Structure 1
Amino acid sequence: MSEPQSLMLQEAESAGTVVEGQIARNRSLMVDAAARLRRLDPPFALTIARGSSDHAANFAKLLFETRLGIPVVSQSPSLATLYGKVSPKVAGAFALAISQSGKSPDLIETAKAVRGQGAFLVAMVNDPASPLAEEADIVIPLHAGSERSVAATKSFIASLTAISDLAAHWGEDRGLARALGDAGALLDNAWAMDWSEAIEPLAAVRQVLVLGRGLTWPIAAEAALKFKETAQIHAESFSSAEVAHGPMALVGEGDPILAFAPADEAAQGFAERLAAFAERGAKVIAAGSEDTTAPAAIRLPIAGSKDPAVTSIGMIASFYRLAEALARRLGRDPDDPPFLSKVTRTR
């Protein structure tokens, strides 16, 4: 008898359908939100998030800074919850809070504090009736539906597409908007990509270095988290531009590297960095275009989009399938990682 599918597998596989529905249902909301943000013309933006949502926030930082020219900083929740030190200089800024549940006390308190200081608060949440949503000037529902697996998958992808959709409307970026129109099909294609060649090399180790750069660096960070959550493999993520500043000294013969190659200007020098790891004897596994991943021992296929942001989103969908299979291969339950729960109640 075949083993039943995990919730993680079922939920991640549905991301294409989720994204298609989200973009259609949020269309008029995004038009209105973008118009309000253009009128606000904020001098900078804040992000408020933790865990996978914080990786999505870093994706927002890169996208907003490169496409909209708006500086973005991460607002540490501890500044509000522990130190009570939210700066009055956030007045007039755009604050983006991202949460699957919308119930984490530290995020709610931080959102309330920055809005109290005059920031314009947008909440991206899966539950538009959640306490976090109640604090916001604008609520952008993720429309991911119920997510029961502890490891967030479809809600993370939904966060990335909502961020990209907001950036496309705000910046009147027709190219990104067209690419998002095809995102559902791209995610289905990404899910079908065969990354199984990477399972055995990864199953044989207890630690992995995960690389990205630009828009793929948040993807690498999310992958590193999922290695820990689902397979209990220690993983650390770095930008390929930063890894030579120390971490590279730890990598030697046979050590695994999983790399997510960027598809935009950040690709410059990426192949050379992978080659340097390969020369040290590392086992390089890379997802991306053939020229960027040429030094890798294992090259993983990707679903390519005309916009590099959407290509990056497809990569994490392919990875989620790999992560679930790896957890199963190691005898782990990807739906029930030890010591973790769906809502993290931090202050």
Structure 2
Amino acid sequence: MSQSLMLMEAGQSPEVVATLLDKEKPAFDEIAKLFSAAAPSVVTTAARGSSDHAATFFKYLFEISCGVPVASIGPSIASIYGSSLHLKNGVHFTVSQSGASPDIVALQDAAKRGGATTIAVVNVTDSPLAKQADIVIGLNAGPEKSVAATKSFIASVAALSGVTAAISGSRALASALAGLPTALEATSGIDTREVEDVLFSATSLYTTGRGPAFAIALEAALKAKETAGLHAEAFSLAELMHGPMRLVQPGFPIVAFLPDDAALNNNVQALERLQKLGATTAPFSTTPLAGINTRMPSTGNGLIDPLVSLLCYYRVIEQVTRRKGFDPDKPANLLKVTETM
């Protein structure tokens, strides 16, 4: 059986991230100077699909590291509803693999007309989005042919994390990013057969995490749906303790991204409660945990580590998809570039 494009492209992530962090450092420094001068009280983002999950990762990481709120603006505010935005001295990030969808281009234009400096985080650097942005961060991911975004998502998160490290001046974040390519590479060969079996047998599941890990849970749920045709819902582990817990029955699968960060103890207690209800828990973590625990290499920083777990998860869901007889590169009903309004 030949290797899928999804698996091959996911495997390129360590090299892509290393290249990105090196080549885009001048852009990170430029943005840090912009923030130092403008001191925006809020940052805005716009994205769709996997790119929106990257923006969610950025939201948590930036708010934790810099203390500045990050708000997502729905692209339809500009593209459908035609509303103006009041973003004087603001900074607006748009995240996109293709940079081609009319709605995010329209929202970026509205943000610029509203007074914001616009930053495009984009793989196709001659796209309409990139051409209209004030500052461009190229993902340096190369062509991504599989419909399922993998390396471009990981690159998007790495780029936004690079921005955060530059603005915050955090040595811990900078060190973790420097070690990210090595940690990603170290996921190769990890035995994931047990968690693959759980997902292959599942009819529905939850994915979960908190902070930046919640963004990874969102991405994991999307990949389960779009590649394996498997119904999955993502919740913050705190939210899962409310209404969603009603559906947890014996054997119900829960894939959890539990990095060693400030939320770990609370997360472990929540997972133990779910296990007592009979849930089959499959945590991805650098620390030993109960359940079907897939142990992960670390960057040395729990805020960045969920991204390492995601690369391992991409391999898991790719295998589950093939076992189900589906083509992970060509999911039913989907196209690589989705142009929405």
Asked if these proteins are the same fold (TM beyond 0.5), I'd say yes
Mapped to 2, the partners of 1:67 and 1:290 lie a distance apart of 23
Mapped to 2, the partners of 1:191 and 1:39 lie a distance apart of 42
Give the match for residue 303 of structure 2: 309
Q: Does residue 1:341 correspond to 2:335, yes or no? A: yes
Q: Report the secondary structure of 1:198's partner residue.
A: helix
Give the match for residue 259 of structure 1: 256
Give the match for residue 17 of structure 1: 15
Opposite residue 12 of structure 1, the aligned amino acid is A
Mapped to 2, the partners of 1:238 and 1:216 lie a distance apart of 10
Mapped to 1, the partners of 2:16 and 2:287 lie a distance apart of 30
Give the CA deviation at 1:98: 0.2
Mapped to 1, the partners of 2:320 and 2:26 lie a distance apart of 40
Q: Does residue 1:81 correspond to 2:75, yes or no? A: no
Instruction: Output aligned runs, 1:241-256, within 5 Å.
Output: 241-256=238-253
Q: Paired residue for 1:164, among 156, 161, 164?
A: 161
The range that moved more, 172-181 or 243-252, is 172-181
Opposite residue 89 of structure 2, the aligned amino acid is G
Give the match for residue 180 of structure 1: 177
Opposite residue 330 of structure 2, the aligned amino acid is D
Q: Paired residue for 2:293, among 289, 299, 304?
A: 299
Instruction: Output aligned runs, 1:143-162, within 5 Å.
Output: 143-162=140-159
1:256, 1:283 within 8 Å by CA — same for their partners in 2?
Answer: yes
Q: Report the secondary structure of 1:344's partner residue.
A: coil
2:177, 2:299 within 8 Å by CA — same for their partners in 1?
Answer: no
Count of residues in Structure 1 that have an aligned counterpart in Structure 2: 341
Q: Report the secondary structure of 2:305's partner residue.
A: helix
Mapped to 2, the partners of 1:132 and 1:191 lie a distance apart of 34
The range that moved more, 233-242 or 166-175, is 166-175
Give the match for residue 126 of structure 2: 129
Give the match for residue 36 of structure 2: 38
Q: Does residue 1:50 correspond to 2:48, yes or no? A: yes
Give the match for residue 196 of structure 2: 199
2:250, 2:278 within 8 Å by CA — same for their partners in 1?
Answer: yes
Give the CA deviation at 1:254: 1.1
Instruction: Output aligned runs, 1:110-121, within 5 Å.
Output: 110-121=107-118
Opposite residue 196 of structure 2, the aligned amino acid is I
The range that moved more, 187-196 or 162-171, is 187-196
Give the match for residue 268 of structure 1: 265
Q: Report the secondary structure of 1:181's partner residue.
A: helix
Structure 1 unaligned spans of 5+:
none
Instruction: Output aligned runs, 1:82-97, within 5 Å.
Output: 82-88=80-86, 90-97=87-94
Give the CA deviation at 1:325: 0.7
Provide the aligned C-alpha RMSD in A: 1.1
Opposite residue 18 of structure 1, the aligned amino acid is V
1:215, 1:262 within 8 Å by CA — same for their partners in 2?
Answer: no
Opposite residue 337 of structure 1, the aligned amino acid is P
Identity %: 41
Q: Does residue 1:323 correspond to 2:317, yes or no? A: yes
Mapped to 1, the partners of 2:12 and 2:304 lie a distance apart of 17
Q: Report the secondary structure of 1:285's partner residue.
A: strand
Q: TM-score, normalised by structure 2?
A: 0.98
Opposite residue 90 of structure 2, the aligned amino acid is A
Mapped to 2, the partners of 1:58 and 1:335 lie a distance apart of 25
Opposite residue 17 of structure 2, the aligned amino acid is V
Structure 2 unaligned spans of 5+:
none
